[in-house]
Amino acid sequence: MVQLDEDQRLVAQTVREFVDREVIPVASEMEHRDEYPDALVDTMKALGLFGLNTPDEYGGNEVDYTTFAIVFEELSRGWMGLAGILGSHLVLCDVLARYGTDDQKRRFLPRLAKGEPRGGICLSEPNAGTDLQAITTTARRDGDQYVVNGSKMWVTNGRRADVLLLLAKTDPDAQPAHRGMSAFVIEKGPPGLTVGRDIDKMGYKTVETCELHFDRFPVPAANLIGGAEGLGFKQVMTGLEAERLNIAARGLGLARAAFEEAIKYAQQRHTFGKAIANHQTIQIKLADMGTKIEASRLLIYSAAAKKDRRERCDVEAGMAKLFATETAAEVSLEAMRILGGNGFSKDFPVERFYRDAPLLLIGGGTNELQRLIIARGLLERYAVS
Ligand SMILES: Cc1cc2nc3c(=O)[nH]c(=O)nc-3n(C[C@H](O)[C@H](O)[C@H](O)COP(=O)(O)OP(=O)(O)OC[C@H]3O[C@@H](n4cnc5c(N)ncnc54)[C@H](O)[C@@H]3O)c2cc1C
């Protein structure tokens, strides 16, 4: 087991109690109705979760990355949709806190840290997700503003968020393409930004995921993150490193929830005169599930500790994301097998875990991409001169 310090234990306990008391009793029913959890979001605001990575001087309550991961683990143990509501908001805060000008930090972070307004990130497009340098949304300078044209896809929180991180091309002809990419903090309000449909998803319901269309949408030049063009790709990629940890931790929380359902059920359900937990085939499943969950936790905490030491951790964050999310998908399916027909029924939460898990393989950079990042890093580390 990983030893947590006093502060980390306190945060873990606070979020765990919130999840046990307020989330688990309502999660499945609300998810089936695709109902937005306004009251739960209000409690998350009151707990200060929207300010988790905003420095204290800007009104946040910044925690270390282990604590950050614990929060996502605990929320996802109850309901992964809640972690989705928080996740992209915190990527925006991360990029602003790291790269924003003083003026940008002062204008946006204190409000974002309270969850008023809510945030999101607009990176992916209908024709560009993994290959982000292929985006076609443009931001052209026009006096003291930029004019944005294009479409963004899969924007989580896209309808409810009023402040968004936008990645666009300020120089569409630049080679390599990332040199012509810039990041902006944008606010809804002026005409030219339309929220299209909410995408109908198999899981990860409740939190809305939308298409956004920009048609001559004006953005003040003062909202160019860091105040210089051409830095957006790097800024966004750094923000996504923390997102990998949050997604890995979501996988850990979801896997734990599925495992806990399965190990409880295995001791209560009897076949052939004994609890199914006494059949060796089920024991092997439980052993593999428990082992992979513990390994996920260690990978996540190890990557988080490296990030806290400000060491490069793209390989470690990628490994944690890859392993913990593949574990979540595997464990949710194994839990379903252990519950038999009941695993397939909406009377038990395992079907929800099973529907939520695949997003983790895709979001925050697909696991195919994680393998590329890991391999590239390892080849650098073990280069034969
Ligand atoms: C529910 C949900 C919420 C999301 N929320 C957001 C959000 O808030 N903001 C946002 O910007 N985006 C968001 N996304 C988008 C997400 O980041 C992308 O879906 C993801 O990056 C993959 O991009 P894609 O869907 O375009 O797939 P593609 O890039 O088209 O990839 C298709 C397949 O090809 C593989 N592939 C691609 N390139 C390579 C390669 N070089 N080598 C090997 N395999 C490769 C991929 O791994 C994948 O298996 C969300 C997605 C979902 C499903």
Residues 373 and 249 in one domain: yes
Q: Are 52 and 92 in contact, with CB atoms under 8 Å apart?
A: no
Residues 126 and 179 in one domain: yes
This prediction has a pTM of 0.96
Q: Which of 154, 214, 359 to mutate to test ligand 1, by most ligand atoms within 8 A of the CB atom?
A: 154
Residues 265 and 358 in one domain: yes
Total domains in the chain come to 3
Residues 79 and 169 in one domain: no
pLDDT of residue 1: 58
Mean pLDDT over the full length of the chain: 96
- Cα Rg for the chain, rounded, in angstroms? 21
Q: Are 42 and 115 in contact, with CB atoms under 8 Å apart?
A: no
Residues 226 and 250 in one domain: no
Query: pLDDT digit string (tens) for 103-155?
Result: 999 999 999 999 999 999 999 999 999 999 999 999 999 999 999 999 999 99
Query: pLDDT digit string (tens) for 222-240?
Result: 999 999 999 999 999 998 8
| Reported confidence tier of residue 26, pLDDT bands at 50, 70, 90 | very high
Q: Which of 62, 167, 157, 168 is nearest to 119 (CA)?
A: 157
Q: Which two tokens stand for residue 42?
A: 């209000």
374 Cβ neighbours under 8 A, 6+ residues apart: 315, 318, 319, 322
H, E, C per residue of 142-206? ECCEEEEEEEEEEEECCCCCCEEEEEEECCCCCCCHHHHEEEEEEECCCCCEEEEEECCCCCCCC
Question: How many whole angstroms separate alpha carbon 74 and alpha carbon 245?
Answer: 14
Query: pLDDT digit string (tens) for 66-81?
Result: 999 999 999 999 999 9
Give me the mean pLDDT over the 200-205 stretch. 94
Q: How many CB atoms lie within 10 A of CB 119?
A: 26
Please work out whether the CB of residue 108 comes within 6 Å of at least one atom of ligand 1.
no
DSSP state of 228: -
Residues 187 and 300 in one domain: no
Nearest CA to ligand 1 atom 26: 129
Q: Is there a domain that residue 1 lies in?
A: no
Give me the amino acid identity at 312: R
pLDDT of residue 361: 98
Q: Which of 91, 130, 374 to mutate to test ligand 1, by most ligand atoms within 8 A of the CB atom?
A: 130
Q: What is the dihedral of CA 74, 75, 77, 83, to 10 degrees?
A: -130
Give the CA count within 13 Å in the CB-facing half-sphere of 72.
34
pLDDT of residue 241: 87
Residue 296, H or E segment = helix 280-308
Distance 209 CA to ligand 1 centre (A): 14
Is 243 part of the annotated catalytic residue set? Answer: yes
Q: Is there a domain that residue 103 lies in?
A: yes
Residues 82 and 182 in one domain: no
pLDDT exceeds 80 at position 216: yes
Query: pLDDT digit string (tens) for 243-259?
Result: 999 999 999 999 999 99
Q: Which two tokens stand for residue 38?
A: 């306004």
With tokens 């790291």, the residue in question is 98
Q: Are 32 and 355 in contact, with CB atoms under 8 Å apart?
A: no
Q: Is there a domain that residue 108 lies in?
A: yes
DSSP state of 101: -
Question: How many whole angstroms separate alpha carbon 2 and alpha carbon 303?
Answer: 13
User: 319 is in which domain, residue-wise?
Assistant: 234-380
Give me the amino acid identity at 287: A
Residues 256 and 372 in one domain: yes
Residues 161 and 99 in one domain: no
pLDDT exceeds 90 at position 213: yes
Q: What is the bridge-based pairing of β-strands 209-220 and 193-198? A: antiparallel
Q: How large a percentage of the chain has pLDDT more than 70? A: 99
Residues 292 and 336 in one domain: yes
Query: pLDDT digit string (tens) for 279-320?
Result: 999 999 999 999 999 999 999 999 999 999 999 899 999 999
pLDDT of residue 3: 78
